[in-house]
Structure formats: C-alpha cells, structure tokens
Amino acid sequence: MSNRVTVTLTVNGSEHEIEVEPRRLLVHALRDDLGLTGTHVGCDTSSCGACTVHLDGLAVKSCTILAAQAEGAQITTIEGLGGEHSLHPLQEAFWNEHGLQCGYCTPGMIMAAAALLEENPHPSEAEVRRALDGNLCRCTGYHNIVRAVQSAAQAQAPVAS
Amino acid sequence: MSATTERHVGQPLRRKEDPRLITGKARYIDDIALPGTLWAAFVRSPEAHARIVSIDAGAARARPGVHAVYTGADMADIGGPLPLAWAPPGVQVNNPPHWPLARASVKHVGDPVAVVIGDDRYAVVDAAEDVVVEYDPLPVVTDPEQALAGAPFVHPELGTNQVHQWTLAGGELEAGFAEAEVTIERRVVNHRIAGAPIEPRGVLADYRAGTITLYSSTQVPHFVRLFVALLLGTSEEKVRVIAPEVGGGFGSKLQIYGEEIVACWASRRLGRPVKWVETRSENMAVTHQGRDQIATVRMGARRDGKITAYHVQIVADLGAYNMLLTPLIPSLGAFVMGGCYRIPAVRTDITGVFTNKCPTDAIRGAGRPEATHMIEVMMDQMARELGIDRLELRRRNFIPKEDFPAAVATGVVYDSGDYHASLDKLLEHVDLDAFRQEQARLREQGVHRGIGFSTYTEICGLAPSRITGPAGVGVGAGLWESALVRVHNTGAVTVYTGTSPHGQGLETAFAQIVADRLGVDPSVVEVIHGDTGTGPEGRGTYGSRSLANGGEAIVKATDKVVAKAAKIVAAELEAAPEDIVVRDGKFSVKGSPDKGMTLAEIAGVAYIGAVPEGMEPGLEETTFNDPENFVFPFGAHACIVDVDVATGKVDVVRYVAVDDCGNPVNPLLIAGQIHGGIAYGIGQALYEHVVYDDDGQLVTGSFVNYALPTAAELPSFELDHTVTPSPVNALGVKGVGEAGTIAATPAVTNAVVDALEPLGVHYINMPLTPMRVWRAIEEAQAR
Ligand code: FES
Ligand code: FES
C-alpha cells in the first residue's frame, strides 16, 4: 500500500514509530502492529468499550479513533496499567471480588474504571454504574464489577474518617 | 480410604484464571498470530431470500494482496452440508442442506455467498465489497404462524415450512381438564434474542503437510474436530481443534459453523494459515440466535387451587436452516414444562417452522427459560382467576420434599428438591406485608411499584447418554464427560477435562476438587481444557453440565489415582491399602498420623523408584463419567420494579434470588453465575429483542439497536441459597450456569403486571419495552 502515514505513539512509556494506512484504527495499531493484544474489540459501533485505553490520561474507545489521530499521544493500555507482579489496585480488586468471568470485557472495564477513579476517587454505587455505562459485560451482570471498583477506591485512598 | 481434611471445596477461592485475564495476557482467538497468515472476509447476502443468478469476483481477485475468492461451487468437494445432530426416533425432521457457502440460493440476511482471502485484514473487506453478486429476490416469510399456513416457502422443494412436530405427554390430559373447574388460556410469546458474547466468534485454520490445526472460539472443540474431519474428508486424528481463551458463549458457540469449515478448507487449498474474526454486525446476523417461540398455553385447576392439567402448544421459529441442535431446543423445555408442581397431566406439542431469519439453537437455558416463563406466568394468571394468593397457589402445588426423587408427568425423575424451603428463605428477605404498604403509599404518589415471583426448577447437567443419546431423545452423541488426572514426578498435578469452559471458572473449581482429594494445594493443580490434541475425547461446556458431569469425572479419575497411591504407600510403609488416609497434605496410615508420604514422595516412587510388584509405573488415571440422571437445580426469585406509566419505562428496583445448586464447590463462582444469569434474563425481559422487518431485513444488526443492559440499568442483586445435594453424583452438585436466566424473565414480567394491575393491565408479553408497556396501559385504560 502506497498510501501510508508515519505515526509516533508513546505506549505504556515506550515510544513507537509505525507506518500505517491513514484509516487504520488505533486499536488495530495497538493490537496488530505493537502486539498489545490485551485491548479487545467487541463491536463495530463504538458501543461495548472492550477497546478502552487511556489517551493522554482520558479513557477513550480505541476502535473509534484512528491511529493517525493519536499522533504524539501518551497511551496506556491494560498491559501498562499493571503486570503480574505489580497489579494495579483495580486489577487486584477485580480478582478479589470476582469481577470477571470470560475476561473479554475486563481490560476495557478496568481502564474505564481507572479513569473514573482518577476523576472521582470515591464514587457511589450509582456513580460507578453511570460511569461504566459505555462498557458492556455479558457475563457478570456488573454486580461484582461495581463492587470491585468500589473496593479498589477504598484500597487506593481510604476515606478519612 | 477416607476423605481428606483439607477442605478447598466449598471455599470462595479467587480464580486461578484471573492473573492472565486482568493483565491483558490471555490469548483469545484474535490474539493468536501465525507466520504467513492470510485473512478471510465473507461476502454475505443482503437479501432475506433470493436465487443467486451470478457471482462476479473478477474485480475482487484483481485487487492487490487478494489470493483467492471462493464460492459454494468451489467447495463442491466437501463431504456434506453442515450437521444437524438430532435424529429423534420416529420423528420426521425436514432438513434441507445447509452449506458453508451458499449454493444457488440464500435464505436469510447474512447467508455467506463467497469468501475473499488475502494478505491484510482491511484489504479483504475492501475486496469483498468488490464481489458482484446478482440476486433474483424470492418471496420472504418472517412470521412463523404465516409460514405454517402455506407459501411462500423458505425451501420451496419441501412444499412446506414445517420442520417437524414433536410431542411429550404424560398423564390423562382430557381427564385433567375435565376435572378442572377453571381453565385459562394465554398466548405466551418468548421473543428472539441474541447470545451476544462480548467476544465475537473467530477461527484460525492452519493446514500443514496433511494435518489441520483449527483454533476456534468454540464451546465444543471435540464436536468441531469430528465435523471438520467428516466434511473435509480427512481422518479425525489429522485434525486438532483448540479453543483458546473464549470470551463467552452462552450457547452461541455450541455449534459447527460454516466459517470453521471454510477456513480449514481454504487453508488446505492455499497451504497458508487462514484467519477470520467475526465483526459484531456479522455476529448479530449469522451467529445462531435463541428462543422465538409462540405458545398457546392452557392450564386447568380445581377451585381449591389444585392444578389438574397443563397443555402447551409451541410454534417454534427455527429460522432458515437446522443447525447442530436447532429443532431439539424447544424439546429441552418440555421435560420441565410442569415446573416445581405436581401436575398429573402435562402435554407439550412442538411445531418447528422455517422462516427467512437466522437459525435459532441453544442460547443460555435453551428451552428451559421458555418453559419456566410459561408456567410461572400462568401460575400468577391462575392465582388471579381463582382468587388465591399467588404464592399460596404455588405452595399448594409444589412437589413436597418427601416425594424426591420425584417422577413427574413428563417422564423424567427430579433428583432432589425442597421448594417450600427456598420460597420460605426468599420471604425472609422480602417482607411482603411491608412491601404492600409501601406499594400503596407509592401509588398515592403516582409511582407504580410491583413485585413478581418465580419459583423454578430446571433440568441440566446434560448427559446421561441413555436419555440424551440416539436411543433416547435422539441426540446423535452420548453425553458423558471425561477426565484425565496426571500426577507429575514432583507431585504437581495436571487435569485434562473434556469440558471446554469459557468464563465459568472451572480451572479453579476443578483444582479445588482435585486438591482436596490428593492432599495438595490448588495452586499446584493445573486444568487443561479445550484442546483435542491433549487429554481424552470430550463433549464440551453447555447446559450447565461441566461440574455435574466433568467435575464428577474428575472425582472418579482422582479417586483412581488415590487408590493407586494408597497401594504404593501401603507397600512402602508396610500397611494395608485400606488403612491409608489422606490427611494434612499426606497419605498416612490410619491411627499413626506421622507415618505417611506426601504426593510428591508417592510420585517419586511411581516414576523414579520401584512400584510394588505387579503394578505399572506412573500415576495417572482416566475416566469417562456417564451419570444415571440429570440434575435439577431450583430456587425462588423475587423482582421489584417501578413502572413509569407516562413513558412505559420499567426500572428494576430490587432483585432477590434464592438458589439451590446442591453442594457448593466455590461460592464466589456460583454467585457470579447467578448474577450474570439474572442480568441475562432481565435483559431479555426488558430490553433485548432481535427484530426483522417484513422483508426479512435485520433491524437489530448491531449493539446500537440491540440493547444489552449496562451497569446503569441494573441494580445490585441480593442472593441467598439453600443446599439440597444431588444424589446423582458424589459431589452432590447441580448446575448453576443457566438458573438465573431461567428464573428471571417471569419474575420481571409478573412484577410489571403486579405494578399495573390497578390500571387494568392483567397480562403482558415480553419484551417489556417502554412502547409495549405504554401501549398495554393505554389499551387497558381505553377498555
Ligand atoms: S470495540 Fe470499541 S467500543 Fe466496541
Ligand atoms: S467477563 Fe465476560 S464479558 Fe465481561
């Protein structure tokens, strides 16, 4: 393909320069070009949130922006949030609270929840539910996801009593 | 031998699966990359019914990076059409061929007509758009009742749209209705829904030098292997099917899909790996759907509340083709048509119908949600008719716990149950008197709050072969389950299961079971599943069967390992094998607890040292478990809703569930299954509906117009349980994967009716969308 653009992205702290078609979705750049397959694709209408990553600190659906639009951006994916030996409090909480079953929605759910907690460190149940309404889970009924987010909030920054 | 003292079974262990899933390290189908992989994209019919006049792939083939375009004609060498595995004795099933790529005609929107194979995932989609297909549109039928009445025909060569008729009857129906003092009839519609796992399907086929490895997002790798071999005309041992991490299934991945066959065929033809990942739009159009039944339901009762007869006549819209189990699915409900009740005569008549829609097949619950919905809605309707409290009516008809195992009119034997206990427990959480006061108070403020109940039992743990197999209901495969338990040199354990979990957490539950019996920690028990190249033949995961059958197989295999280990220990310590017990992580001699050997020491003897005279070295055992009976979980659910009468919008305010799935192995997993099941049921009751217009065009082709519930629509759920062990297996377990879904739709529906009763709405069919509810209110008010 002749029609290619060069895009520079900083993903999970490392800088990458990739050559992509202008129409390439960010999610495919992350998954197929950079091998970061923790970010998933569950729909083609920007509905499910399985592809949620952080772009310059904001939760975005990476299926809904082009890689080229992310030029120069700082991106964090689930792999950058925390690893096997350095779990993020949300990862730990999803594990403890059984906040996942098939796990397919989980990376997007955790990234969306992480953005919520940045903004609102102690969300109420209703606030958690509203904040996650762009992320679909078919397995859990959301019950334990909500509990996980609230317990991570507690672990991260206990409310002063 | 006696049981171990380590009790991991029953504990809420956090899952062994999770570390890879929460860190983005799991490997789902689209995460697997093989060198030299080509991408596939399917050309799909935009018509609901048409003759294919011509296919011009010239422009597509000419595009750079395109390696091939294949049509049905190119695949003329395959061994046959896609399978229907249901051949009930004495029942004629019309089964026109269903090809992986359409031949001559298309029967529903999305039917695949051609496949484009090329270098790049984007480029093949472009090329697929360049394939020019000329269609000659044919008349379309989408309404199953019209389809039964006559032309147009989905398969004109049959001269009918009827697929089959099937009846299950027990007891004297006419006598039952004659005895009845009150008979009611309702038309109960259970609308079409999508399975909608968040991971769509996908395949990666890799043919090399005579063997095929197929990675597929499936619940049934062994079935897939069998049919890939048969359809590709190759020998079964040359095919290996691997279900990698699977992102949910809900029955929709219990199937042999055309794309699996096409990918294998094309990979063999091209000598390159071929990958296809379904888009959500494709998933909504071509991945099998569920429910879609219209039932005429008649219930007869005496004035004292005794139900005397129950007759259900179902028109089941099966869509355009039979797939693996399509016409069987409504029959699964027939076995529990009478619910928790002692009804002397129960009859179910099922008529399957072809329409120009996506085929239906198993979706979470598969027939049982429909059956439970009917009986539980009818119990409320009958209670109203009789002027008896609806819970009292249920209690008067419950099968009493003394009657178990309970033979029921439908011919099956419910294994165990205590329905009064679960309803009692539910009412400990729901104060009905207080609710009625609150309801009255809220009504004065214009808030319409209602409460609905459902008490259910279901049939699951799919097996036993004697009932499910060819000689029984007619599934062309016995349904048992296998396990291989292998102790390694170091005392670590690998378990191979023939089940194929995809979110249920069985790696953890199975490890708990094995750990207890071998006196080791669950962390050293690894469970391998979903790979036909390892472990024994298996049957997969569906129908809440994996624990009751697969778990039980693991128990039996593990117990064989324990028996052999005990002999080794007895020989080493000069004791009798009967005197060896597993305690505190050791196989020790009864009465002298410090005399013993760890599993690692025993494995050392089995593999490295000298086993007793006459014994084979090694420490592993295999079992095939074919149980005597199904298992029948049960429970009682309550749902409280608010209905906005101005808009018809329903909000679930509170949901309380008491479930009994026998002995708990891992309470965390059980709760998760119930939460998800309830959400699935609420989703169907209130939001989800696969809609086709009269031309057979799919209106709900994406997540924009197919409404899955989000966190914002649902409340937290309140759970409790009773424990009534199943006598069918040593673990005493039942299944729990579908229970929530089965119980939820009638609880929600009955709650909405309860809320709207004062407005004159006494009956309503799902989906309870704002429009449907608002109209029901308007119509009732106009009367
Ligand atoms: S894949 Fe991005 S929202 Fe669904
Ligand atoms: S855990 Fe399966 S979709 Fe959320």
The protein residue with its alpha carbon nearest to ligand 1, atom 1, reads A41
At A16-75, the pLDDT tens digits run 999 999 999 999 999 999 999 999 999 999 999 999 999 999 999 999 999 999 999 999
Ligand nearest to the CA of B703: 1
* CB atoms closer than 10 angstroms to residue B284: 25
What is the overall mean pLDDT for chain A?
95
Structure tokens at A49: 């949130």
Ligand 1 test: best mutation among A28, A39, A43, A55, most atoms within 8 Å of CB? A43
Note whether B324 and B442 are same-domain residues. Answer: yes
Structure tokens at B100: 């992986």
How far apart CA B486 and CA B494 sit, in angstroms, is: 5
How close B506 comes to chain A (CA, Å)? 10
CA B591–ligand 2 middle distance (angstroms): 49
Instruction: Please identify, among B604, B625, B646, the residue that sits at the C-terminal boundary of a domain.
Output: B625
- Does the beta carbon of B364 lie under 8 angstroms from any beta carbon of chain A? no
Nearest C-alpha neighbor of B104 from the set B155, B154, B53 = B53
**Is A100–B710 a contact, with Cβ atoms under 8 angstroms apart?**
no
Does residue B106 fall inside a structural domain?
yes
Whether this model's pTM surpasses 0.90 = yes
Rounded to an integer, what is the distance from CA B23 to the centroid of its chain?
A: 28
What are the b/e assignments for B577-594, b being 16+ CB within 10 Å?
bebbbbbebbbbbeeeee
How close B78 comes to chain A (CA, Å)? 32
- Does the beta carbon of B723 lie under 8 angstroms from any beta carbon of chain A? no
Which amino acid makes up residue B21?
L
Q: What is the pLDDT of residue B666?
A: 97
Q: Which residue has the tokens 């039917």?
A: B111
How far apart CA B179 and CA B181 sit, in angstroms, is: 6
Structure tokens at B563: 């028996």
Identify from B11, B23, B253, B281 which residue to disrupt to test chain A contact, counting A C-beta atoms within 10 A and taking the largest count.
B23
Nearest C-alpha neighbor of A146 from the set B736, B714, B252 = B714
Does residue B177 fall inside a structural domain?
no
Chains A, B: CB pairs < 8 Å: 189
Note whether B278 and B351 are same-domain residues. Answer: no
The binding-site residues of ligand 2, defined as CB within 6 angstroms of any ligand atom, are A 100-106, 137-140; B 198, 248, 503
Instruction: Tally the C-alpha atoms within 13 A of residue B191's C-alpha that lie toward its C-beta.
Output: 19
Partners of B30 on chain A (C-beta within 8 Å) are 31, 37, 40-41
- Does the beta carbon of B427 lie under 8 angstroms from any beta carbon of chain A? no
**Is A77–B24 a contact, with Cβ atoms under 8 angstroms apart?**
yes
Does residue B653 fall inside a structural domain?
yes
Q: What is the pLDDT of residue B3?
A: 44
CATH number of the domain at B663, please.
Answer: 3.30.365.10
Identify from B25, B121, B198, B363 which residue to disrupt to test chain A contact, counting A C-beta atoms within 10 A and taking the largest count.
B198
How far apart CA B265 and CA B74 sit, in angstroms, is: 10
Mean pLDDT of B725-733: 96
Note whether B654 and B725 are same-domain residues. Answer: yes
The binding-site residues of ligand 1, defined as CB within 6 angstroms of any ligand atom, are A 41-43, 46-51, 61, 63
How far apart CA B669 and CA B62 sit, in angstroms, is: 53
How far apart CA B15 and CA A4 sit, in angstroms, is: 44
How far apart CA B507 and CA B3 sit, in angstroms, is: 22
Partners of B666 on chain A (C-beta within 8 Å) are none
For residue B14, what is the nearest residue in chain A, using CA coordinates? A96
- The 3-class secondary structure across B272-334, one letter per residue, is CCEEEECCHHHHHHHCCEEEEEEEEEEEEECCCCCEEEEEEEEEEEEECCCCCCHHHHHHHHH
Is B505's pLDDT higher than 60?
Answer: yes
Q: What is the pLDDT of residue B53?
A: 98
Touching A: B residues 141-200, CB under 8 Å: 196-200
Q: What is the pLDDT of residue B87?
A: 83
Contact criterion met (CB below 8 Å) for B417 and B406: yes
Nearest C-alpha neighbor of B737 from the set B542, B604, B580, B548 = B542
Range of lowest pLDDT (A125-139, B275-289, B475-489, B552-566): B475-489
How close A141 comes to chain B (CA, Å)? 4
Residue B765: which residues within 8 A CB-CB, separation 6 or more? B187, B188, B189, B191, B772
Mean pLDDT of B124-150: 98
Furthest CA-CA distance within chain B: 89
Helix (H) or strand (E) run with residue A119 in it: helix A106-119
How far apart CA B345 and CA B176 sit, in angstroms, is: 6
Note whether B588 and B553 are same-domain residues. Answer: yes
Beta bridge partners of B455: B636
Of all atoms in ligand 1, which is nearest to the CA of residue A51? 2
Beta bridge partners of B296: B187, B313
Polymer length in residues for chain B: 783
How far apart CA B348 and CA B367 sit, in angstroms, is: 12
Q: Are strands B493-497 and B525-528 parallel, antiparallel or unpaired?
A: parallel
Q: What is the dihedral of CA A139, A145, A147, A148, to 10 degrees?
A: 130
Note whether B521 and B455 are same-domain residues. Answer: no
Partners of B503 on chain A (C-beta within 8 Å) are 101-103, 139
At B403-439, the pLDDT tens digits run 999 999 999 999 999 999 999 999 999 999 999 999 9
Residue B52: which residues within 8 A CB-CB, separation 6 or more? B102, B104, B105, B106, B113, B133, B134, B135, B136
Does residue B672 fall inside a structural domain?
yes
Structure tokens at B634: 């049960």
The protein residue with its alpha carbon nearest to ligand 2, atom 3, reads A137
Note whether B88 and B71 are same-domain residues. Answer: yes
Q: Which residue has the tokens 């989800």?
A: B688
Note whether B300 and B240 are same-domain residues. Answer: no
Of all atoms in ligand 2, which is nearest to the CA of residue A103? 1
User: How many folded domains does chain B comprise?
Assistant: 3
Does residue B613 fall inside a structural domain?
yes
Ligand nearest to the CA of B245: 2
Beta bridge partners of A58: A55
How far apart CA A61 and CA A54 sit, in angstroms, is: 9
Is B151's pLDDT higher than 60?
Answer: yes
How far apart CA B733 and CA B720 sit, in angstroms, is: 17
Of all atoms in ligand 1, which is nearest to the CA of residue A52? 2
How far apart CA B452 and CA B599 sit, in angstroms, is: 53
- Rounded percentage of chain B residues whose pLDDT exceeds 70: 99
Note whether B753 and B669 are same-domain residues. Answer: yes
How far apart CA B100 and CA B77 sit, in angstroms, is: 12
**Is B25–A38 a contact, with Cβ atoms under 8 angstroms apart?**
yes
Structure tokens at B385: 């008719």
Instruction: Tally the C-alpha atoms within 13 A of residue B406's C-alpha that lie toward its C-beta.
Output: 26
CA B638–ligand 2 middle distance (angstroms): 25
- The 3-class secondary structure across B531-595, one letter per residue, is ECCCCCCCCCCCCCCHHHHHHHHHHHHHHHHHHHHHHHHHHHHCCCHHHEEEECCEEEECCEEEE
Does residue B41 fall inside a structural domain?
yes
Partners of A44 on chain B (C-beta within 8 Å) are 279-281, 702
Q: Which structural domain, as residue segments, surrounds residue B322?
A: 289-462+629-782
Note whether B455 and B491 are same-domain residues. Answer: no
Q: What is the pLDDT of residue B475?
A: 85
At B173-191, the pLDDT tens digits run 999 999 999 999 999 999 9
| DSSP SS3 for A91 | helix
For residue B63, what is the nearest residue in chain A, using CA coordinates? A1
Which amino acid makes up residue B645?
V
Does residue B573 fall inside a structural domain?
yes
Of all atoms in ligand 2, which is nearest to the CA of residue A100? 1
Ligand nearest to the CA of B248: 2
Where is pLDDT greater, at B89 or B337?
A: B337
Residue B146: which residues within 8 A CB-CB, separation 6 or more? none
Does residue B153 fall inside a structural domain?
no
Partners of B712 on chain A (C-beta within 8 Å) are 129-130, 132-133
Structure tokens at B626: 């074919």
How far apart CA B237 and CA B537 sit, in angstroms, is: 11
Instruction: Please identify, among B625, B644, B678, the residue that sits at the C-terminal boundary of a domain.
Output: B625
Of all atoms in ligand 1, which is nearest to the CA of residue A41? 1
| Omega within 30 of 0 (cis) for the link into B369 | no
Note whether B770 and B725 are same-domain residues. Answer: yes
CATH number of the domain at B234, please.
Answer: 3.90.1170.50
Ligand nearest to the CA of A104: 2
What are the b/e assignments for B208-234, b being 16+ CB within 10 Å?
eeeebbbbbbbbbbbbbbbbbbbbbeb
Q: For B22, which of A45, A91, A102 is closest by C-beta distance?
A: A91
Partners of A129 on chain B (C-beta within 8 Å) are 710-712, 714
Structure tokens at A65: 């922006």
**Residue B693 vs residues B186, B438, B698: alpha-carbon distances, Å:** 25, 42, 7
**Is A142–B245 a contact, with Cβ atoms under 8 angstroms apart?**
no
How close B82 comes to chain A (CA, Å)? 27
Is A160's pLDDT higher than 80?
Answer: no
Ligand 1 test: best mutation among A60, A63, A135, most atoms within 8 Å of CB? A63
What is the overall mean pLDDT for chain B?
96
Q: What is the pLDDT of residue B4?
A: 46
Q: What is the pLDDT of residue B6?
A: 60
**Is B198–A91 a contact, with Cβ atoms under 8 angstroms apart?**
no
Instruction: Please identify, among B231, B262, B285, the residue that sits at the C-terminal boundary of a domain.
Output: B285
Rounded to an integer, what is the distance from CA A67 to the centroid of its chain?
A: 16
How far apart CA B292 and CA B692 sit, in angstroms, is: 12
Nearest C-alpha neighbor of B715 from the set A130, A143, A128, A127 = A143
User: Alpha helices of B356-458 — where are they, by DSSP H?
Assistant: 368-386, 390-397, 419-429, 432-444
Of all atoms in ligand 1, which is nearest to the CA of residue A43? 4
How far apart CA B688 and CA B781 sit, in angstroms, is: 27
| Order of strands, sheet of A5-11, starting from the edge strand that comes earlier in the sequence | A14-20, A5-11, A74-76, A52-55, A58-61
* CB atoms closer than 10 angstroms to residue B708: 20
Q: What is the pLDDT of residue B276?
A: 98
- Does the beta carbon of B671 lie under 8 angstroms from any beta carbon of chain A? yes
For residue A36, what is the nearest residue in chain B, using CA coordinates? B24
Of all atoms in ligand 2, which is nearest to the CA of residue A145? 4
Beta bridge partners of B86: B475
Beta bridge partners of B294: B189, B315
Is B675's pLDDT higher than 50?
Answer: yes
Q: For A133, which of B28, B679, B712 is closest by C-beta distance?
A: B712
Partners of A145 on chain B (C-beta within 8 Å) are 711
Is B46's pLDDT higher than 70?
Answer: yes
Is B203's pLDDT higher than 70?
Answer: yes
Structure tokens at B112: 């695949």
- Axis crossing angle, helix B739-756 with helix B667-682, rounded to the nearest 10: 50
Note whether B445 and B314 are same-domain residues. Answer: yes
Furthest CA-CA distance within chain A: 62
Ligand nearest to the CA of A47: 1
Contact criterion met (CB below 8 Å) for B468 and B475: yes
- The 3-class secondary structure across B594-610, one letter per residue, is EEEECHHHHHHHHHCCC
Domains of chain A: 5-80 (3.10.20.30), 89-156 (1.10.150.120)
| Omega within 30 of 0 (cis) for the link into B464 | yes
Q: What is the pLDDT of residue A158?
A: 60
Q: For A98, which of B672, B679, B708 is closest by C-beta distance?
A: B672
Q: What is the CA radius of gyration of chain A?
A: 16
Contact criterion met (CB below 8 Å) for B383 and B754: no
**Is A136–B198 a contact, with Cβ atoms under 8 angstroms apart?**
yes
Note whether B561 and B614 are same-domain residues. Answer: yes
pLDDT band (50, 70, 90) for residue B5: low
